[in-house]
Structure 1
Amino acid sequence: MRSAVSEIDQPLRSQDGRLVLVADVVLDCQEDLVSSLGARHRQLSDAELVLAAYERWGEQCLAHLSGEFAFALADQRRGGVLLARDQLGSRPLVLHEGPGQVSFATTAMAVADLPGVGHELDEGRVAEWLAFVMNSEATFVRGTALLSQGHSVWVDERGSRRQRYWHLDPDRIVDLGSPEAHALALRAAMDQAVARRLPSHGEVGVLLSGGLDSTSVAATAARLLDPGPVRT
């Protein structure tokens, strides 16, 4: 369990003032990102690392980011705004696209408060929700929608361009030949995934539901941190 701590005031600006970032972000594997960016970036906050990554790679920075994030980055050099959401959609980013404008925030109610949006209830979405219809993009405010996980949107005077920058292959089949080999591969994957999420300092907490997944995460974290404590 990690918190999205705002280590510095936002919005952030590049040294020349032509890049402006607002972000809800908790990155994983900061050391890998810092290694790619250079040692002088080691003391930067997660939001500052996002800004530095964009300065280095532009929109391709999304291929270098791992963790939970939703951000908007205004680029005066290119005359547009990049909106992006993390690969698994852990952080929300709600959009409203109207004539000549794109509004965004991390909640639908915040978007509804912006000019040109409004608070009209989407009754169709309410009906879907009551019928247990899963819709990962819909909100209860008419005219608003969540940006899909693993997607970005580039907005400029010509309009908006949506791009899927990451996806999980649902048809991939892994056959390692034996149950034992699969067990070892699963443990290695769990170790890698949990290690990527462990903070470099501070205490570690795991939310337990009583199921196998959260219990496995807690046990893996405790083993990787031994003798350090894991709070549940």
Structure 2
Amino acid sequence: MKTQTELNWLDSQHDRLERTEVLAWDGRLDNRADLVVLLTDSLRGNTSNAALARAAYARWGPSGFVHLIGDWSVVIRDHANHTIVLASDFAGVRPLYYHVQPERVLWSSRLQSIVDATGICELDEQYVRGFLLFGGCPNRTPYRGIYSVPSGHAVCVSSEATKVHRFWALPNGDEIRYRTERQYEEHLRALFREAVSVRLQTGSPVLAELSGGLDSSSVVSMAKHVIRRGASCTTRLTTVSYVWRNSLDEPFIREVESFCGVEGVHISADDQPIITETQVGNATPEAFQPLRTSIASIANTLGVKTILTGMNGDLMMGNWFDDSLQVTASLRQFRIGRAFEEALAWSKILRLPVYSVLRRAIRAALPPSLAPAAIYAAPDGSSMPKSTETSLVPAFGDRTAHPEAESFFSDAWMQARPERRKHFRSLTTMLELRALQPPEPLQHLDYTHPFAHRPMVEFLMAVPPDVLCRPGEPRRLMRSALSDLWPLKLRTRRSKGLFNAPWQKALRPLAHILLKASQLYLVESGFVDRTSVFSRLQRLSSGLDCNESQLRQIILLELWLRNRADGRLSGQALRAA
């Protein structure tokens, strides 16, 4: 989908044969056969993806987009209502940006194209705060006035107003209960097979990311299984993996490659750092640009059009160290004895007093208006950084605080059952940040995620949490349903290597560079405190605790702004308001 500039989009003087027309379509539909049957009276022989999207909108309006399952973005002109409609799938996988002016609306699937077309050079401070705290900001870009279409929403632009219409909502109230564990396993297995299969309907070779963890290994193994059975159009599958010195993942990566009989390409994170001083993203600040540029080159060499990932697997498959809020389900049913047994089991795993687990569960079981949201936001894991320092200047935080809520994110997840609010909150954050959107070097490819297959997401979010995870048994359902896809060595794996070593190797030289800088853009703009940032950079250089995960965001954004100011990136330098 290239940049589109729609001039005089309110002009309706000419009679139109069609009330609606598709101006741009980008994506893949996974339920085409169902849609053709459902919309056959409106298609007039044209069954292209764009025609299906137009027919759904023509029949039901923006709400009709809920029937489109897949990764997609679409722009439609509604002549009858003098409106331009921009919409994106429930997970926001396909990028779509827009900018509204008095006499026109501009949109593009490439952010840099719309930046070049508008010449906007003012920094969106709301985005800056969100990026420094969360790695992004819902519906915003670094450029003031250029927005991202929210996932699962349609943006309707007319001469009177710009309205945002939600067409997909979190399945908060849904609950699936089967009589036997076997039924859950069979349902998950069928949905996962479908999730992978629909993404293999391409005549080109397919590339699959392989980290050696259970999620990416499951995708690779299922993809190979589907190809062997002749249920896909592609016949060639290649894996690509990041490796580094003393990586715990590399033996598992090689084991999966051998088990599936696939060729694997390994990219060294020692030779290609996660970020460098000049490789920090183009239109937006992004880590991993050197590595993803290498993947793009590999894809080009192999003729690849589709890349499969294991992203979203941790959340969907219940990879929780602490999911003790499950106890609230028994409390709400006044099954006190069972609640105590569950709390005792979790207390042993978490090494917490049983009363502490029960107290949290009791508070979480309160109605949404009374339950403290912070309970559901507690980090998951046995090891957390001691430092929570962010270095944000208080005055900056005050002027960019959300006017209606303390959070950047919507709170619809609070309407879910208490034992599932934590999971819905995580899903909300991921979707609203469009975390599944392809990175810039890979935006020309079908960068897609089987664990974000909507039917499977809706199923797993409705399954009782103790089916997915129990004390000391994360990924419980996944292991019982999919383990036969894995080599024996992987079946016994209980932990996964992290990118900590490559991150530290990449960040320490950058910390030295910034410590020697005469000034920092983020400091001069009043975003972060100089003393705090320099202290943390020094601690990072010395290998001391500094809340590294958040300091990464500061370093990344600082370098990105410096590169734009120095003219190393296309576009103008950005200035604070």
**Range class of TM-score, shorter chain:** 0.7 to 0.9
Post-superposition Cα deviations, 1:156-214, rounded to whole Å, max 9, x if no partner, equal: 22212211100233575545465544333321221232334342x62462412323222
* Residue of structure 2 in register with 1:67 after alignment: 70
Contact 1:19-1:73 at 8 Å conserved across structures: yes
1:224, distance to aligned residue in structure 2 (A): 3.0
Task: Tell me what 2:208 maps to.
Answer: 207
Distance 1:82 1:193, change over 3 A: same
Residues of 1 paired with 2:86 and 2:126: CA distance?
27
What do you get for the CA RMSD once the two structures are aligned? 3.3
Tell me the equivalent position of 1:29: 31
Query: Is the contact made by 1:218 and 1:230 (CA closer than 8 Å) also made in structure 2?
Result: no
Partner of 2:459: none
Distance 1:29 1:102 in 2: 31
Equivalent position of 1:19 in the other structure: 20
Q: Match for residue 187 of structure 2? A: 185
Distance 1:206 1:136, change over 3 A: farther
Query: Does 128-137 or 149-158 show the bigger shift?
Result: 128-137
* AA in 2 matched with 1:231: L
The Cα shift of 1:61 comes to 3.0
Provide closer, same or farther for how the CA distance between residues 126 and 162 of structure 1 changes in structure 2, counting only shifts above 3 A. Answer: closer
Which one has the largest radius of gyration? 2
Residue pair 2:92, 2:150 contacting (<8 A) in 1 also: yes
Distance 1:43 1:100, change over 3 A: closer
Find the aligned partners of 2:79 and 2:126 in 1 and give their Cα distance: 39
Q: Which residue, out of 139, 146, 149, partners 1:147?
A: 149
> Deviation per CA, 1:53-79, whole angstroms, max 9, x where unpaired?
334444343122111221211121222
Q: Is 2:62–2:167's contact at 8 Å kept on the other side of the alignment?
A: no
| Residue 57 of structure 2 corresponds to residue 54 of structure 1 | yes
Deviates more, 1:168-177 or 1:59-68: 168-177
Counterpart CA distance in 1 for 2:187 and 2:26 is 33
Distance 1:197 1:29 in 2: 12
CA distance in 1, matches of 2:38, 2:18: 23
Q: How far off is 1:81 after superposition?
A: 1.4
Moved more, 141-150 or 168-177: 168-177
Structure with greater strand share of residues: 1
Amino acid at match of 2:203: G
Take 2:140 and 2:35, find their aligned partners in 1: how far apart are those partners?
A: 33
The alignment status of 1:108 with 2:101, answered yes or no, reads no
- Which residue identity does 2:94 align to in structure 1? R
In the TM superposition, 1:126-145 aligns within 5 A as 126=128, 128-145=130-147
From 220, 223, 226, give the equivalent of 2:225: 223
Q: Residue deviations 1:97-128, cap 9 Å, x none?
A: 4556543322333333345x612233553454
Find 2:122's aligned residue among 120, 123, 126.
Answer: 120
Structure 1: state its 5+ residue gaps.
none
Larger deviation, residues 49-58 vs 205-214: 49-58
| Change in CA separation of 1:204 and 1:136 when aligned onto 2, cut-off 3 Å | farther
Check whether the contact 1:151–1:162 (CA below 8 A) recurs between aligned residues. yes
Q: 1:125 and 1:54 mapped to 2: Cα distance?
A: 31
Instruction: Letter of the 1:53 partner, please give it.
Output: A
Structure 1 counterpart of 2:52, which letter?
A: L
Which residue, 63, 75, 79 being the options, matches 2:82?
79
CA contact (8 A) 1:70 1:92 kept: yes
- Which residue of structure 1 lines up, in the alignment, with residue 335 of structure 2? none
Structure 2 equivalent of residue 89 of structure 1: 92
Q: Which moved further from structure 2: 103-112 or 88-97?
A: 103-112
What SS class does the counterpart of residue 90 from structure 1 fall into?
coil
Using CA pairs below 8 Å that are at least 6 residues apart, which structure has the higher relative contact order?
Answer: 2
Q: CA deviation at 1:22?
A: 1.4
Q: Secondary structure at the match of 1:113?
A: helix
CA distance in 1, matches of 2:102, 2:130: 27
Per-residue CA deviation, residues 23-50 of structure 1 (Å, 9 max, x unaligned), is 2222222112112222976764322332
CA distance in 2, matches of 1:227, 1:177: 31
Q: Give the Cα–Cα distance (whole angstroms) in 2 for the partners of residues 179 and 59 of structure 1.
A: 38
Equivalents in 1 of 2:44, 2:236: separation in Å?
29
- Amino acid of the structure 1 residue aligned with 2:98: L
Deviates more, 1:27-36 or 1:101-110: 101-110
The code of the aligned residue for 1:19 comes to: T
**Percent of residue pairs identical:** 31
Native 8 Å contact 1:41 1:49 kept in 2: no
Could you tell me whether the CA contact under 8 Å between 2:96 and 2:108 is conserved in 1? yes
Aligned with 2:74: secondary structure? strand
Please tell me whether the aligned partners of residues 206 and 214 of structure 1 are also in contact (alpha carbons under 8 angstroms).
no
Contact 1:26 1:67 survives alignment (8 Å): yes
CA 1:44–1:185: 2 relative to 1, 3 Å: closer
